[in-house]
Amino acid sequence: MSDKAVVKNSGGLGETVSVIVQALLLALVIRTLLFQPFNIPSGSMRPTLLEGDYLFVSKFSYGYSKYSIPFAPELFSGRIWSGDPQRGDIAVFRKPNDTSLDFIKRVIGLPGDKIQMRSGVLYINDVAVPREKVGQIDNPDITEASGPVDVYREVLPNGITYDTLDLIPNSVGDDTREFVVPAGHYFMMGDNRDNSSDSRFDVGYVPIENFIGRANIIFFSIAGKASPLEIWRWPSELRFDRLLHSVNAAPNSVQKN
């Protein structure tokens, strides 16, 4: 009697469930340890980041805290494999007085720094950060304003350069008290200086434990408050010039005076 090769169909509900579970676990590992997608819901980081931008945040840049894990379980305190945020980084963090909220701002002050705004000029340790008017933006999609908006370029002490919007001259955030950043904390500000809830106001100093990760790359961007699922709106609302751009290199359409 000759041997017969028998092929067994191993498919079925059990195998399907196993594949789904493995895929979910892999996605969880990637989200927790490597990259997490975020979308920008407000205009506080204009013109660098716009509402409708979707970006990846590097989770390993600053190490891991309980906020790196979904639902932030109390498994440990502090950070594991901690890396220090650098001045000028755009970072996602949990708001200190409401850790259910994710915020995204730029790191301006490091532990021990003295931070102050004087007549719209940023001072770090009593030294003015160079600030130059580079032109205007007259595009409501970028500025959320009905007319041209002045754009100022700042250069931080470590050479990081970025643009800020000046929507309201002499606004309440243009002149502040001096802030002394405590040990283990950071001072965060939005690039849209007159429309940002940040460390000058109710956000306060951000503990290192609250950092989730560093913003990395814009992988999708859509205007008009459209959902990415509204594919029929892509031809008119998709921002093609922002796709796959570094958050530090997003175009901003500055018009020179």
**In the chain, domain spans:** 35-246
β-strand pairing of 211-221 with 245-246: antiparallel
Q: Return the pLDDT at 68.
A: 83
Q: For residue 188, report the phi and psi dihedrals to the nearest 5 degrees.
A: -115, 140
Give the tokens for residue 30.
């990637």
Domain 35-246's class? mainly beta
Q: Are 34 and 59 in contact (CB under 8 A)?
A: yes
Catalytic entry in 59, 61, 65, 105: 105
Residue 104: which H helix or E strand, with range?
strand 98-109
Quick one: how far is CA 89 from the chain centroid?
9
Rounded CA separation 226/206 (Å): 31
Q: Return the pLDDT at 76.
A: 78
Running along the chain, 257 residues long, what does each successive block of 10 average in pLDDT? 50 74 68 80 95 94 86 79 92 96 97 98 98 96 94 97 95 97 98 97 96 94 94 95 84 66
Q: Return the pLDDT at 252.
A: 66
Q: How far lies 45's CA from each of 184, 212, 233, 239, in Å? A: 24, 17, 24, 17
Rounded CA separation 69/47 (Å): 30
- 100 catalytic? Reply is no
Give the tokens for residue 102.
């994710």
Q: Are 181 and 187 in contact (CB under 8 A)?
A: yes
Q: How far lies 85's CA from each of 65, 122, 213, 221, in Å? A: 14, 19, 9, 26
Q: Are 163 and 151 in contact (CB under 8 A)?
A: yes
Rounded CA separation 205/194 (Å): 19
User: Is 65 in a helix, a strand, or coil?
Assistant: coil
- 95 catalytic? Reply is no
Give the tokens for residue 117.
């705004």
Strand order in the sheet with 114-118: 127-128, 121-124, 114-118, 179-180
